[in-house]
Structure formats: structure tokens, C-alpha cells
Structure 1
Amino acid sequence: MVFQANVIRIVGLLLTLVLSGCSSIMSSDAAKDPEVKLLKVDVVKARLLKQDMTLRFRIDNPNDSGLWVRGLRYKVVLNDILIADGEYNDWFKVRANGHRNFSVPIRTNLWEHLKEVTRMLGKVNQPVHYRLEGYLKTGFLFGDDVRIGREGDIIPGDLIPE
């Protein structure tokens, strides 16, 4: 019984020390959010039932300390059609006041939206609105989610090679 009480006290003391140490880590100067840019979308393989693509990103870290990235949650929408959504869970570090590029493989299935996508792309001079949204999971012990988003218009006629 005395042994159990001592174990409980030691565990309580360790938890108190760990939590107080974490609060001092958390109370340091507020870190600035990194800037996340979508650089490019590469089509790796396009088949009838599935399309493999790669989203290429750049992260700029404006802080004086390194930034751990734990992954990315994303959604890609054309007009109002959800083309892809998923999660990328690779860890990496962006050096202090530096940047790093990374690639996220995605797989889509346009077959279920073939009629709508064909109609959109068939109007070669009418813009197609795209939207990328999600969040970057950052931090080592205590994470923070940084919202990302980009949207714009694609003119299908501009994508046709001459």
C-alpha cells in the first residue's frame, strides 16, 4: 500500500514537471505561421478510371527556429465538383528562416464526374473555377494547424497545345 502511494506521488511529480516544462515551451514568443504555396500540379498517369497527380508545394518558414511539419489535409474542387481529398502524413523539418519544397501524390477518379468535367472542358473559352483548401499540420509535441487555400480560374482553351 505504501509502495503504491509512493508510485502515485512520483507519477504525479513527473506529470507536474512535464506539464510545467511544456507550458514554458508553449509560452515562448509567438511563432509566425509559415506561408504555403501551391507551385504546380503534375499529371503522372491519366487513365479512364483513375488519374495519378502530384501537388508540388513550397513552405516558407519566417521564424528563427526550425518548423516541424507532420502532414497535410487537402481538398481539390473544380467548380463545385470535389475532385480529390485526402491526407499526407510524412514528417519533415523546414529550417529556420528557410524554405522547403515537398510533393503530395494524389489519386482522383473523374469517371463519376465525366459528364460534368467534359461539359466544363468542352467550353474552351469559359473559365473553370478551381479551389485548393486544407491545413498544414505543424509542431513536434504540440501541433498547430495552418490553414491553406488557393483558388482561381483555368481557361480550358489555354491548356490545349497549339
Structure 2
Amino acid sequence: MLSQAQTIRIISLLMFFGLLSGLAGCSTWMTGGFKDPDVQLVKVDVIKARLLEQEFRLYFRIDNPNNVSLPVRGLDYSVHLNEMMLAEGHSNEWFSVPAHGRHHFDVPVRTNLWRHVRQIVKALEKPDQPIRYRLQGEVKTGMLFGRSVHVSRNGEIIPGDFIPE
């Protein structure tokens, strides 16, 4: 017959080894065959454009190339226009992307362009000249042992293309 202390010690050891084997499985999943998901910015909508505050909605698509579903815990982002920081923030939306599947999600963005009005007006003086934009972010994946997937999109917009004639 085992004493209570011996029983507790055996149970503790079993729990410890169970935890270690579980961690090894997570580590293998996250490093062995894990492929980073592909995250694309697919659309930008202007919701409100007032003098002191602008509101946009960024639409993303995330494709999961893995054989298991991918939990996503949020997105940290920053948006630059000609190297000016326009907005930065965080989305706390949690969702799961099915194995070999895709999921669409959107992120609201608020900014105040008033502090950059001189630089923006200067850039708009030549509507045929491109303005560079850059979106950077990190998509947080996984549950307990998460991994961050970096997102970086660069491009140019020509302001004249958006000015009605």
C-alpha cells in the first residue's frame, strides 16, 4: 500500500511527464511541418473622412496551407504614407482558419491626418506623381505556444486616379 505522499509524488510525476510530452508535440507542430499562412490585404474602404478624423476598414484574407486548422489571435499593424505614420493599432478578433482553407477578416482603422496636412497637400500638388504606402503587421497565430507571422505590403497610388474630372 502506498502512502499518501508517495501517491501524490507519483501523480505529480505523471502529470509532469504528460505535460512534457504535450509540449514536445506542440513544438513539433509549430516547427516541423508548419508553414506560415499567406496574409493578403484585399481591399481598403473609406468609412468616414472628416477634417479631424478619418475612418477606414482594411479587409484581409488569410490562407492556411497546413493540414490542421490555424487559430488566429489578432493583428498588430501600422500604415505609412510616404514614410509618414498614419495609423497603428491592434485587432483582438479571434478566429480559426480551417486546414487548407481561407478566412476573410476586417480591421477598423482610425487616424487623424490633420497633423500631416502640409505633407499631404504637398504630395497632392502633383496628382500624377505616385504616393508610396506601406502596411506592416504581425498576425498572431496558435494558442498556448503562438507564433507571429509578419505581413508587409508596399505599393503606390496615383492621387489623380481618384480625383473626379
Distance in 2 (alpha carbons) for counterparts of 1:140 and 1:118: 45
> Match of 1:137?
140
Distance in 2 (alpha carbons) for counterparts of 1:3 and 1:86: 53
> Match of 1:63?
66
Are positions 1:79 and 2:82 aligned together? yes
Distance in 2 (alpha carbons) for counterparts of 1:106 and 1:7: 53
**Root-mean-square deviation (Å):** 2.0
> Match of 1:26?
27
Contact 2:71 2:143 in 1 (8 A): yes
Percentage identity across paired residues of the two chains: 49
Are positions 1:122 and 2:125 aligned together? yes
Distance in 2 (alpha carbons) for counterparts of 1:112 and 1:9: 65
Distance in 1 (alpha carbons) for counterparts of 2:138 and 2:14: 36
Q: Is 7-16 or 46-55 further displaced after alignment?
A: 7-16
Q: Which residue type is aligned with residue 99 of structure 2?
A: A
The change in CA–CA distance for 1:50 and 1:15 in structure 2 (over 3 A counts) is: farther
Q: Is 87-96 or 113-122 further displaced after alignment?
A: 113-122
> Match of 1:104?
107
Distance in 2 (alpha carbons) for counterparts of 1:119 and 1:9: 73
User: Any idea what SS the aligned residue of 2:132 has?
Assistant: strand
The change in CA–CA distance for 1:44 and 1:4 in structure 2 (over 3 A counts) is: farther
Aligned length: 161
1:85-96 matches, cutoff 5 A: 85-96=88-99
1:144-159 matches, cutoff 5 A: 144-159=147-162
The change in CA–CA distance for 1:60 and 1:5 in structure 2 (over 3 A counts) is: same
Displacement after TM superposition at 1:12 (Å): 5.6
Distance in 2 (alpha carbons) for counterparts of 1:119 and 1:155: 14
Q: Which residue type is aligned with residue 27 of structure 1?
A: T
User: Any idea what SS the aligned residue of 1:38 has?
Assistant: strand
> Match of 2:53?
50
Q: Is 147-156 or 10-19 further displaced after alignment?
A: 10-19
Which digits, 9 at most, give the CA deviation of each residue in 1:73-97, with x for residues without a partner?
A: 1110001100001111110001111
Flag structure 1 segments of 5+ consecutive residues without an equivalent: none
User: Any idea what SS the aligned residue of 2:133 has?
Assistant: strand
